[in-house]
Amino acid sequence: MPRIFGVEIPGRKRTEYALCSIYGIGLTLAREICEKSGIDPAKKADALNDEELSQISKLLQTEYRTEGDLRREISGNIRRLISINSYRGSRHRRGLPVRGQRTQTNARTRKGPRKTVGAVRGKEARAAAKSGK
């Protein structure tokens, strides 16, 4: 498996799809990178030689933000929103959806598993409720 920026890209895939495993690169950007570096996007990633891999990594370093830099920038943006007490920052802080989605019924990904709200009864109270007292 070839490595670019410390990320192992899948070798059996076409280059344009293998590059998508790098954080911050989607299919459109991967195709653009293949075009700029003069590499056939249909070529398998295992078939790339060292020169082509260095050409791709050089292009990524100079023109695009990927991996650690991009993650740092995104987390910095979120920290800034939280620190200026914006509405979006407060949603990030509470772990709720940020972009206006409904929360009464959905949003389980952001909110986590359901937490049942109600009285927690002891064993005696449950037994009494079952017997009908």
Q: Is the pTM of this model over 0.85?
A: no
Q: Long-range contact list for 91-99, CB < 8 A, 24+ apart? A: none
pLDDT tens digits for range 21-71:
999 999 999 999 999 999 999 999 999 889 999 999 999 999 999 888 999
- In this prediction, residue 126 has a pLDDT band, given cuts at 50, 70 and 90, of confident
**Three-class SS string for 4-49?**
ECCEECCCCCEHHHHHHHCCCCCHHHHHHHHHHHCCCCCCEHHHCC
CATH of domain 70-111: 4.10.910.10
Tokens 């920038």 belong to 73
- Is the pLDDT confidence value at 3 over 70? yes
Note the pLDDT of residue 78.
96
**Residue 89's closest CA among 78, 105, 99, 97?**
78
CATH topology of domain 3-64: Helicase, Ruva Protein; domain 3 (1.10.8)
Task: Sketch the domain layout of the chain as residue ranges.
Answer: 3-64, 70-111
For the chain, helix (H) and strand (E) counts, in that order, are: 7, 2
For residues 103-113, give the mean pLDDT: 89
